[in-house]
């Protein structure tokens, strides 16, 4: 059977006996127990504030510099935060320069969201999974916005603070919007997160990865640009209204979780990172060592065939590099327990051997 055109909706949410999924980027770990406290508070379900529940926004404001609850919009996950921001930005300052710079490999949703918003993606190819600042500098000049994603899905790499500071200065000087997708900011193995600052910075974050709450779709955006915040809120009043109020109460509880919860989980992620990195390296695959998030992106030729065969013959889900803008790589999420990673790697090994022999 030839490899069909692969699409993410083939795999997302899929589970079953014997399936090993390195596919979807979602933690298998449990959320903090205290999020369930929110259940007892709920009897009725009236609309909430479009911008988000006040208690949640106030709790978030404590974690951001120079901020009040007015600097936030709570959204249906980071996805809606990005979508709304791009849709609003596309209408600011006319249609000229309606380009958005993306570092390639990119999170596969970015080019779609840019195009859905009526804008055009422009690409800068990363070097070993990190931004090539010289190329970035040239291409950003024609753009209205850029999406930065550090730690990166799919590369697992973290940008150097030096690069981030140079990006801050350049975009601030040029008046370019920076969408900083920091959903993996609490899953960094190599240093503290560096929070990008600037008058036109929109930081996007979510409770999905840090607190294992993907299915509740609870995220938010932050910006010092209050006018932009208001425009985004006005649009959301039409496109989806308030974000689920119960999920917001659960997210509020999550903000009260002690840091030790995150530290404990980070240790687990790091063990898995080491395990899969070593396992794939030992098979002779060329890959970058992940510094954050929970993805590896080894070089594998004919990646679509690899993904399809692994799925049909070995019940192993992986995502083809094509989705992320690179042809000869495959993304493995290691958000599953070591035993499953081990079993999955065995199957990969078997397949790779069979190709070589064949």
Does position 242 interact with a second copy (CB under 8 A)? The reply is: yes
Residue 208 in contact with residue 181, Cβ under 8 Å?
A: no
79, HSE (Cβ side, Cα atoms, 13 Å): 14
Closer by beta carbon to a second copy, 180 or else 248 = 248
Q: How far apart (Å, rounded) are the C-alpha atoms in residues 213 and 319? A: 22
Residue 192-231 contact track with a second copy, rule CB under 8 A, x = bound: --------------------xxxxxx--------------
Angle at 189 between CA 294 and CA 145, to 5 degrees: 70
43 contacts a second copy (rule: CB under 8 A): yes
Q: Is the dihedral of CA 342, 348, 352, 354 positive or negative?
A: positive
- The Cα 33–Cα 50 span in angstroms is 27
* Closer of 218 and 300 to a second copy (Cβ): 218
CB 299 within 8 A of CB 287: yes
List, in sequence order, every residue forming a beta bridge with 74; answer none if it has no partner. Answer: 220
Tokens of 45: 């379900």
Rg (CA), the chain: 20
CA distance 134 to 324: 22
Say whether residue 94 binds a second copy (CB under 8 A). no
- Residue from 72, 73, 83, 144 in contact with a second copy (CB under 8 A): 83
Q: Is residue 160 within the footprint of a second copy (CB under 8 A)? A: no
The residue range among 63-71, 75-83, 305-313, 323-331 that interacts with a second copy, by the rule CB under 8 A, is: 75-83
146 makes contact with a second copy (CB under 8 A): no
Q: Does 57 bind a second copy (CB under 8 A)?
A: no
Q: Does 47 bind a second copy (CB under 8 A)?
A: yes
Q: Does 241 bind a second copy (CB under 8 A)?
A: yes
| Nearest residue to 205 via CA among 84, 72, 86 | 72
Q: Is 26 in the site for a second copy (CB under 8 A)?
A: yes
Q: In this structure, what token pair is assigned to residue 195?
A: 């929070």
Which member of 16, 17, 45, 134 binds a second copy (CB under 8 A)? 45
Decide: is 246 part of the binding site for a second copy (CB under 8 A).
yes
Smallest distance, a second copy to C-beta of residue 79, A? 5
Residues 116-135 that bind a second copy (CB under 8 A): 116, 118
Quote the Cα angle for 221-227-229, to 5°.
Answer: 20
What residues line the site for a second copy (CB under 8 A)?
A: 7-9, 12-13, 24, 26, 28, 30-31, 36, 39, 42-51, 76-77, 79-80, 83, 87, 109, 112-113, 116, 118, 212-217, 233-235, 237-247
């Amino acid at each position: 059977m030839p490899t069909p055109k692969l699409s993410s909706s083939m795999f997302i949410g899929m589970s079953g006996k014997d399936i090993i999924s390195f596919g979807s980027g979602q933690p298998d770990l449990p959320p903090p127990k205290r999020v369930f406290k929110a259940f007892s508070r709920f009897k009725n379900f009236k609309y909430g504030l479009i911008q988000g529940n006040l208690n949640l926004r106030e709790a978030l404001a404590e974690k951001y510099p120079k901020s009040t609850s007015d600097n936030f919009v709570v959204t249906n996950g980071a996805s809606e935060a990005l979508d709304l921001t791009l849709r609003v930005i596309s209408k600011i300052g006319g249609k000229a320069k309606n380009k958005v710079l993306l570092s390639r490999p990119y999170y596969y949703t970015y080019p779609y969201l840019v195009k859905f918003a009526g804008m055009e993606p422009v690409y800068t190819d990363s070097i070993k999974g990190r931004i090539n600042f010289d190329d970035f500098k040239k291409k950003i000049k024609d753009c209205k916005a850029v999406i930065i994603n550090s730690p990166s899905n799919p590369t697992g790499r973290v940008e150097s603070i030096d690069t981030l500071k140079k990006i801050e200065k350049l975009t601030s000087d040029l008046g370019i919007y920076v969408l900083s997708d920091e959903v993996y900011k609490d899953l960094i193995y190599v240093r503290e997160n560096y929070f990008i600052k600037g008058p036109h910075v929109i930081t996007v974050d979510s409770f999905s990865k840090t607190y294992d709450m993907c299915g509740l779709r609870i995220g938010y955006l932050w910006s010092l640009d209050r006018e932009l915040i208001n425009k985004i809120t006005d649009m959301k009043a039409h496109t989806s209204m308030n974000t689920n109020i119960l999920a917001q109460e659960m997210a509020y509880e999550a903000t009260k979780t002690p840091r030790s919860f995150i530290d404990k989980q980070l240790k687990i992620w790091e063990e898995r990172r080491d395990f899969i990195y070593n396992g794939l390296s030992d098979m002779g695959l060329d890959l970058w060592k992940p510094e954050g998030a929970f993805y590896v992106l080894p070089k594998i030729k004919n990646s679509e065939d690899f993904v399809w065969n692994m799925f049909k013959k070995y019940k192993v889900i992986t995502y083809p590099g094509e989705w992320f803008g690179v042809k000869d790589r495959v993304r493995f999420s290691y958000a599953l327990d070591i035993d499953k990673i081990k079993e999955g790697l065995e199957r990969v090994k078997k397949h790779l051997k069979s190709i070589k022999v064949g």
